[in-house]
Amino acid sequence: MKSVALFCAASENIEPLYFEAANEVGAMLGAMGAELVYGGARFGLMEATAKAAKGAGARIVGVVPDILVERDRVSTLLDERVMCRNLSERKDIMLKRSEVLVALPGGVGTLDEIFHVAAAATIGYHSKRVVLYNAGGYWNAIVGALKEMESKGFLRGGFEKYISVAENIDELRDFIEKA
C-alpha cells in the first residue's frame, strides 16, 4: 500500500475547481489502494480529499496538532489519529509516514510544508519528493519562481529533483506509482 501525504488548504472560501481536483485526487488514491496521510482537519480541500479517498477505499491517517482538537476541527473520517503538539511536528510525522508527498492548492501553510520537505531533501535528510498538483495552473507562479532561482544559481542541481509538477491526474498517478 502506497502511503501518500497530502498538503492543501483547509479553507472553504475557494473556487469549486479546487474542490473538484481534491475529489479527483482522493478518488484516485482510493482506487490505488493508498493510505492518505494528511493534517486531519474537517474543512476545505483536506476534508474533500479525505472524504473522496475514504469513499473509494483508502485508509485515512490524520496527523492532528493539539490546536485542532482544542478548536473541535478534527475530521471524523480518520482511521488513525496521530497526535502532535504543533505544525512543525506534524510536518515531520507526515514526511516520515509517507513515500511521496502531494500538494494541492493551499496558502502559507501549504507553502511551508512544501518547502520544509524540499529543503530537507536538498541537504540529504531524505530522497522523497513533493508533487505539485497544478489544478487550474495554481502552481505556475511558484514553478516560475523556482526556475528563476535556478537560473540565478540559488538551487543546486535543479528543483526537479525534489519538486515535481503534475498537470493532470494521470501524471500525478505516475509520480505516486514510481515513488
pLDDT > 80? residue 157: no
Domain enclosing residue 118, as ranges: 3-178
List the grid coordinates of 73.
476541527
pLDDT > 90? residue 6: yes
pLDDT > 80? residue 156: no
CB neighbourhood size of 16 (10 A): 7
Indicate which CATH number applies to the domain containing 9.
3.40.50.450
Write out the H or E segment, with its range, that includes residue 52: helix 44-55
Q: Are 72 and 48 contacting, i.e. CB atoms less than 8 angstroms apart?
A: no
Q: Mean pLDDT score of the chain, rounded to an integer?
A: 96
Give residue 141's pLDDT: 98
Please name every residue paired with 100 in a beta bridge, in sequence order, or none if there are none.
4
Q: Are 4 and 94 contacting, i.e. CB atoms less than 8 angstroms apart?
A: no
Angle at 8 between CA 59 and CA 150, to 5 degrees: 120
Give residue 158's pLDDT: 84
pLDDT > 80? residue 48: yes
User: Per-residue confidence at 18, pLDDT binned at 50, 70, 90?
Assistant: very high
pLDDT > 90? residue 8: yes
Percent of the chain past pLDDT 70, that is, above it, reads 100
Task: Write the pLDDT tens digit of every residue in 79-90.
Answer: 999 999 999 999
DSSP 68: H
Report the number of distinct structural domains present in the chain: 1
Query: What is the number of residues in the chain?
Result: 179
